Amino acid sequence: MKKSTLIIDKHFIVGEIDHRIYGSFIEHLGRAVYEGIYQPESPFADEQGMRKDVVELIRKLNVPIVRYPGGNFVSGYHWEDGVGPKNERPEKLDLAWSVIETNQFGLNEFMDWTKKANTSAMMAVNLGTRGIEDAKNIVEYCNIQGGSYYSDMRKKHGYEQPHDIKLWCLGNEMDGHWQMGHKTAVEYGRLAAEAGRIMKMVDPSIELVACGSSALDMPTFGSWEDTVLSECYDQVDYLSLHQYYGNRDNNTPEFLANTVAMDRFIQSVISICDAVKAKKRKNKTIQLSFDEWNVWYHSNNQDKKLERWCKVPHQLEDVYNFEDALLVAGMMITMLRHADRVKVACLAQLVNVIAPIMTSDTGAWMQTIFYPFELISNHGRGTVLNTIVKAPVYESKQGDAPYLDSVCVVNEEEETLTIFAVNKDLEDSMELTCDLRQFKDYQVKEHIVLTHSDLKAVNTEENPNNVVPVKGDNAKIEGGILQAILCDKSFHMIKLGK
The alpha carbon of residue 287 and the mean position of all alpha carbons in its chain are separated, in whole angstroms, by: 15
Could you list the beta-strand ranges (E) of 141-213. 167-170, 207-210
Q: What is the pLDDT of residue 286?
A: 98
Specify whether 317 is catalytic: no
Specify whether 173 is catalytic: yes
pLDDT in tens, 197-247: 999 999 999 999 999 999 999 999 999 999 999 999 999 999 999 999 999
Separation CA 360–CA 36 (nearest Å): 8
**Per-residue burial over 343-373, b = 16 or more CB atoms within 10 Å of its CB, e = otherwise:** bbbbbbbbbbbbbbbbbeeeebbbbbbbbbb
285 in the Ramachandran plot: left (φ > 0), alpha (ψ -120 to 50) or beta?
A: beta
Separation CA 183–CA 358 (nearest Å): 35
Percentage of residues in the chain having pLDDT higher than 70? 100
Q: What is the pLDDT of residue 86?
A: 97
Q: Residue 338: is it exposed, middle or buried by C-beta count within 10 angstroms (0-12/13-18/19+)? A: buried
The predicted model scores a pTM of 0.97
Q: Which residues of the chain have pLDDT under 50?
A: none
Question: What is the DSSP secondary structure assignment for residue 51, as one 8-state letter?
Answer: B
Separation CA 308–CA 204 (nearest Å): 42
Q: Do domains 2-9+385-497 and 18-379 have the same CATH topology?
A: no
Q: What is the pLDDT of residue 171?
A: 98
Q: What is the pLDDT of residue 184?
A: 98
- Say which CATH class 18-379 falls into: alpha beta
The alpha carbon of residue 336 and the mean position of all alpha carbons in its chain are separated, in whole angstroms, by: 12
| Coil, helix or strand at residue 434 | strand
The alpha carbon of residue 429 and the mean position of all alpha carbons in its chain are separated, in whole angstroms, by: 30
Q: Going by CATH, does the domain composed of 2-9+385-497 fall within 3.40.50.150?
A: no
Separation CA 51–CA 47 (nearest Å): 10
Structural domain spans, the chain: 2-9+385-497, 18-379
β-partners of residue 394 are 401
27, 35, 140, 173: which is the annotated catalytic residue? 173
pLDDT in tens, 62-106: 999 999 999 999 999 999 999 999 999 999 999 999 999 999 999
80, 101, 140, 292: which is the annotated catalytic residue? 292
What angle separates helix 132-143 from helix 107-116, to the nearest 10 degrees?
A: 50
78-83: long-range contacts, CB 8 A cutoff, minimum separation 24? 78/126, 78/130, 78/134, 79/106, 79/107, 79/126, 79/134, 79/138, 79/141, 81/106, 82/106, 82/107, 82/108, 82/109, 83/107, 83/108, 83/141, 83/153, 83/154, 83/157
CB 104 within 8 A of CB 48: no
